[in-house]
């Protein structure tokens, strides 16, 4: 089995705080999850990861990289990552502090925010900690007038190990768009976002995953939300050979809420895994999850959704639904809902459906002159877009599923 | 009326489902500008006829042919048939969650334009056309933004079908009334919509089992359809005769 620790380059750097974090990660990393690891039983990274994903191209210097000149089709403050290294020329945004992860660790204040999850529970995040170097610290203290975008350009093979710390201060409303674009190279992306939402703050987090079909993508967003805070995430995944988008949310105080919606459209032999773990730790907290997948070819969809409600978290609501469209005979879906409810005054539900395109709907479109292929695409988009109905920014909504 | 060009020619058509013969040696010719009504009891094969004409899957054509504007209709896919000028007004239009009427109409209109080698309409021209046609049918902007037929009343759905017909300008519209009747208001809407389209070039095939609609859209020909074929053809008075006598007499007569 691959020893990933050996494969990820970690520049030596004499910051004791960073070295001690790396050591902590290294000590908690027990190797790749295997077939017997419950949380990974449907998503066999061990079978798909290959050494060529880790062979770095010769060091790519930032000067020769023009990735940062590209931009999204709408107005935003753009932050670029080229093969996992963030560009360190940041736009000026009033009330927003941005620095490199290494600088932030050197300044100690980040200690309140870094590595605030259980490394044992998340093996790839432990690996990410063991290799800490690239990433950004973003603290938003004033509502920005435009969304902030994190744009990942993955053009070379090799491992991309990124840690971002995102802090949304009291009462701030922020929007972050994360986009991952790859070519056909084999590579391994391992992204960890640690997100802190203070009282009455709102973060809308959009993500578009369109990685290389020969790559592996694993991402963890670990989100802590205080009283009245709100986290809304909308993720669209269509790329990678194998990908897991994992969201772990702690609703820590009263009236904290989360919406975790996502959609995926896959073909070929792609495996897309959506895993959520939402912990309701206080009363009057709410969570809502809608995941929709369209699976074609030999592709494989996985949804693991956990809702945990603590005994004191009364009057909470937690809803979860996964709908799949199976578009071929070899399409495959695994759905595993887990509800752990220890309070008695709660409203919770989960559900899962799977089916094919509705023939009557298809015929109706065709009877109006629309060809079969276009009609199917219209119906698939409509099915998936239900997960994004609540997105108020029409540009972002359109961009997400492009 | 002078009619030179046949729009639709059904010749010795036999068709069925899963080995069961439903349409039996049907012959029917519709010329440009004509309105034909096919009336028949439940189970006569009226639905099958409308499905075979529009190309719904699941039907076997065992013999015969159908020419539409001189082309072999049976080799065309449902979307090609529509783009050639065939339009089915459905009794129960399908609801499509997540697809707005506006998007749907744009796809449909541009599909037809593309089929005929025309460029796609730009957003401004499209909006202008939609608004102009929607206003005639008292369809609001709000209705156009909603998902296709979702939560629409029977009357609203019929208005939307009529709007589609007005936009797509079919040469032959098929009104499939096979399952049940419409309320008076919806009936009037469809009839007005169809009458507005009539310019002596468009043809209409009404498939129904009662004559309410035929009071509003006067047919040139009425055919009584039983056991998969036409047993009697007449003018509009045949519909009235049928209303008084019922189907049984005609069927008995045909069997003698």
Please determine, for residue A61, whether its predicted confidence score (pLDDT) is greater than 70. no
Tell me if chain A has a CB within 8 Å of the CB of B90: yes
Q: Among A182-186, A206-210, B95-99, B184-188, which range has the highest average pLDDT?
A: A206-210
With an 8 Å Cβ cutoff, are B90 and A364 in contact?
A: yes
d(CA B183, CA B191) in angstroms, rounded, equals 12
Written as six digits, the tokens of A79 are 């932050």
Confidence band, pLDDT 50/70/90 cuts, at residue A363: very high
Q: Is B94 on the interface with A (CB under 8 A)?
A: yes
Which chain A residues contact residue B164 at CB under 8 A? 368
pLDDT at A54 over 90: no
Distance from CA of A358 to the nearest CA of B (A): 9
In a domain, A37, yes or no: yes
The verdict on B112 touching A (C-beta cutoff 8 Å) is: yes
pLDDT at residue number A64: 52
Round the average pLDDT of chain B to a whole number and report it. Answer: 88
The whole-number pLDDT of residue A392 equals: 92
Interface touch A369/B168, C-beta < 8 Å: yes
Element at B81 (helix H, strand E): helix B78-84
Q: What is the mean pLDDT of residues A33-57?
A: 89
Q: What number is the ipTM of this complex?
A: 0.93
Identify the bridge partners of residue B226 per DSSP, sorted by sequence position. B229
Structural domain includes residue A198: yes
Residues from chain B that touch A383, judged by Cβ atoms under 8 A, are 98
Interface A:B, Cβ pairs < 8 A: 74
Q: Which residue has the higher pLDDT, B92 or B74?
A: B74
List residues of chain A with CB under 8 Å from any CB of chain B.
359-361, 363-372, 374-375, 378-379, 381-383, 385-386
B77–A361 C-beta distance less than 8 A: no
pLDDT bracket for residue A97 (50, 70, 90) = very high
Contacting residues of A for B152, CB less than 8 Å apart: none
Least confident of A9-23, B117-131, B154-168, B197-211: B197-211
Flag whether A12 is in a domain: yes
Q: Output the average pLDDT for chain A.
A: 93
User: Based on the number of CB atoms within 10 Å of its own CB, is A211 exposed (0-12), middle (13-18) or buried (19 or more)?
Assistant: buried
Cβ contact B104–A368 (<8 Å): yes
* Residue B108 forms contact with A (CB below 8 Å): yes
Instruction: Name the residue in chain B with its Cα closest to that of A381.
Output: B98
Give the mean model confidence (pLDDT) for residues A323-339: 96
pTM of the entire predicted model: 0.90
Chain B residues touching residue A366 (CB < 8 angstroms): 55, 77-79, 82
Cβ–Cβ below 8 Å for A364 and B168: no
**Arithmetic mean of pLDDT, A98-109:** 90
> How many domains does the structure of chain A reveal?
1
pLDDT, one tens digit per residue, over B177-226 is: 744 556 666 667 777 777 777 666 789 999 887 777 788 788 999 999 99
- At residue A168, the pLDDT reads 98
Q: Assign A13 a pLDDT band (cuts: 50, 70, 90).
A: confident
Tokens 């998936």: give the residue. Answer: A384
The token duo for A163 is: 């840690």
Q: Does any CB of chain A come closer than 8 Å to the CB of residue B151?
A: no
- Given a cut of 70, whether residue A65 has pLDDT beyond it is no
A206 CA to chain B: closest CA distance, Å? Answer: 20
Residues from chain A contacting residue B79 (CB–CB below 8 Å)? 366-372, 375
Q: Nearest CA of chain A to the CA of B94: how many Å?
A: 6
The answer to whether A369 contacts B77, with C-beta atoms less than 8 Å apart, is no
Q: What mean pLDDT is predicted for residues A303-312?
A: 97
CA distance B173 to chain A (A): 12
- Domains of chain B, by residue range, sit at 6-255
With respect to residue A387, please indicate whether it lies within any of the assigned structural domains: no
Q: Which of B50, B57, B73, B78 to mutate to test the interface with A (most CBs of A within 10 A)?
A: B78
Q: How far is CA B16 from the centre of its chain?
A: 20
Name the residue with tokens 């071929």. A328
The per-residue pLDDT for range A18-32, each reduced to its tens digit, is: 999 999 999 999 888
Residue A256 predicted with pLDDT over 90? yes
CB spacing of B79 vs A363 below 8 angstroms: no
Closest CB from B55, B94, B147 relative to A360: B94
User: Would A382 be classed as within a structural domain?
Assistant: no
Q: Within 10 Å of residue B15's Cβ, how many Cβ atoms?
A: 23
Chain A residues in contact with B90 by the CB 8 A cut-off are 364
Put simply, whether B115 touches A (Cβ < 8 Å) is: yes
Burial class (CB in 10 A: 0-12, 13-18, 19+), A117: middle
**How does residue A7 score in pLDDT terms, banded at 50, 70 and 90?**
confident
Containing domain of residue A266, as a range?
4-359+395-400
pLDDT score recorded for residue B184: 67
B88 chain-A contacts, CB cut-off 8 A: 367
Closest CA–CA distance from residue B138 to any residue of chain A (Å): 22
**Using a CB-CB distance cutoff of 8 angstroms, which residues of chain A are in contact with residue B83?**
369
Q: Which among A364, A366, A385 is the nearest to B96, CB-wise?
A: A364
Strand segments (E) across A65-157: 77-82, 85-86, 96-100, 136-140, 148-154
Write the DSSP symbol of residue A134: B
B111–A379 CB contact, under 8 Å: no
CATH of region B6-255: 3.40.50.300
* Pick among A357, A367, A373 to test the B interface (most B CBs inside 10 A): A367
Q: Is B85 on the interface with A (CB under 8 A)?
A: no
Residue A227 belongs to some domain of the structure = yes
Q: Residue A104: which pLDDT band, with cuts at 50, 70 and 90?
A: very high
Long-range contacts of B127-133 (CB under 8 A, 24+ apart): B129/B167, B130/B102, B130/B105, B130/B167, B133/B163, B133/B166, B133/B167
Residue A372 lies in a domain: no
The pLDDT of residue A356 is above 70:
yes
Q: Is the pLDDT of residue A196 over 60?
A: yes
pLDDT at A127: 94
Closest residue of chain A to B104, computed from CA coordinates: A365
How many Cβ atoms are within 10 Å of B70's Cβ, its own excluded? Answer: 9
Contacts of A385 in chain B (CB under 8 A): 98
Most confident of A213-227, B115-129, B228-242: A213-227
Sheet holding B203-208, edge to edge: B86-89, B172-176, B203-208, B35-39, B221-226, B229-234
Question: Are A382 and B96 an interchain contact pair (Cβ–Cβ within 8 Å)?
Answer: yes
- How far, in Å, CA of B252 to CA of B256, rounded? 6
């Amino acid at each position: 089995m691959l020893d990933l620790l050996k494969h990820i380059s970690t520049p030596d750097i004499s910051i004791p705080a960073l070295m001690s974090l790396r050591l902590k990660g290294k000590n908690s990393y027990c190797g790749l999850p295997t077939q017997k690891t419950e949380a990974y039983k449907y998503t066999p990274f061990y079978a798909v990861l290959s050494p060529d994903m880790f062979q770095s191209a010769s060091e790519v210097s930032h000067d020769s990289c023009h990735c940062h000149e590209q931009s999204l089709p709408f107005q935003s403050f753009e932050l670029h990552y080229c093969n996992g290294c963030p560009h360190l020329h940041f736009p000026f945004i009033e009330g927003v502090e941005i620095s490199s992860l290494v600088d932030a660790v050197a300044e100690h204040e980040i200690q309140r925010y870094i590595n605030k999850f259980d490394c044992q529970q998340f093996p790839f995040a432990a690996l990410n900690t063991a290799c800490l170097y690239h990433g950004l610290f973003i603290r938003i203290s004033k509502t920005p007038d435009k969304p902030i975008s994190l744009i990942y350009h993955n053009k070379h093979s090799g491992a991309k190990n990124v840690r971002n710390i995102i802090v949304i201060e009291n009462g701030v409303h922020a929007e972050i768009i994360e986009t991952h674009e790859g070519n056909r190279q084999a590579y391994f992306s391992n992204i960890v976002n640690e997100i802190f939402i203070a009282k009455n703050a709102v973060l809308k987090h959009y993500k578009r995953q369109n990685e290389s079909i020969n790559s592996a993508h694993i991402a963890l967003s670990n989100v802590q939300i205080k009283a009245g805070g709100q986290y809304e995430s909308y993720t669209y995944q269509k790329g990678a050979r194998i990908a897991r988008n994992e969201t772990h949310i702690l609703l820590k105080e009263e009236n904290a809420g989360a919406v975790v919606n996502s959609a995926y459209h896959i073909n070929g032999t792609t495996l897309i895994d959506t895993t959520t773990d939402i912990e309701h730790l206080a009363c009057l907290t709410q969570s809502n999850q809608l995941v929709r997948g369209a699976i074609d070819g030999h592709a494989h969809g996985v949804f693991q959704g956990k809702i945990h409600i603590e005994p004191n978290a009364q009057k909470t609501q937690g809803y979860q639904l996964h709908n799949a469209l199976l578009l071929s005979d070899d399409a495959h879906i695994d759905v595993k809902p887990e509800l752990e409810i220890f309070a008695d005054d709660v409203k919770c539900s989960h559900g899962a459906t799977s089916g094919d395109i509705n023939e009557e709907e298809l015929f109706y479109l065709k009877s109006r002159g629309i060809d079969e292929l276009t009609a199917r695409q219209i119906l698939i988009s409509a099915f998936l877009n239900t997960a994004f109905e609540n997105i108020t920014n029409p540009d972002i909504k359109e961009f997400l599923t492009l | 009326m002078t009619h030179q060009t046949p729009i639709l020619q059904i010749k010795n058509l036999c068709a069925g489902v899963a080995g069961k013969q439903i349409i039996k040696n049907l012959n029917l010719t519709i010329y440009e500008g004509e309105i034909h009504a096919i009336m028949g009891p439940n189970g006569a094969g009226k639905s099958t006829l409308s499905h075979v004409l529009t190309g719904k899957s699941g039907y076997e054509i065992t013999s015969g042919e159908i020419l539409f504007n001189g082309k072999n209709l049976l080799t065309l896919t449902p979307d090609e048939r529509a783009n050639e000028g065939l339009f089915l007004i459905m009794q129960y239009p399908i609801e499509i969650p997540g697809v707005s009427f506006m998007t749907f109409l744009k796809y449909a209109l541009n599909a037809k334009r593309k089929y005929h080698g025309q460029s796609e309409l730009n957003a401004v021209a499209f909006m202008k056309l939609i608004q102009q046609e929607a206003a005639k049918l008292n369809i609001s902007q709000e209705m156009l933004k909603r998902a296709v037929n979702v939560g629409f009343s029977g009357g609203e759905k019929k208005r939307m079908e009529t709007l589609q017909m007005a936009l797509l300008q079919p040469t032959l519209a098929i009104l499939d009334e096979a399952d049940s009747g419409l309320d008076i208001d919806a009936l009037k809407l469809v009839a007005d919509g169809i009458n507005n389209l009539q310019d002596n070039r468009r043809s209409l095939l009404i498939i129904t089992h009662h004559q309410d609609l035929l009071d509003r859209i006067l047919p040139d020909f009425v055919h009584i359809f039983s056991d998969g074929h036409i047993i009697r053809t007449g003018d509009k008075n045949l519909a009235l005769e049928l209303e008084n006598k019922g189907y049984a007499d005609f069927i008995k007569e045909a069997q003698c």
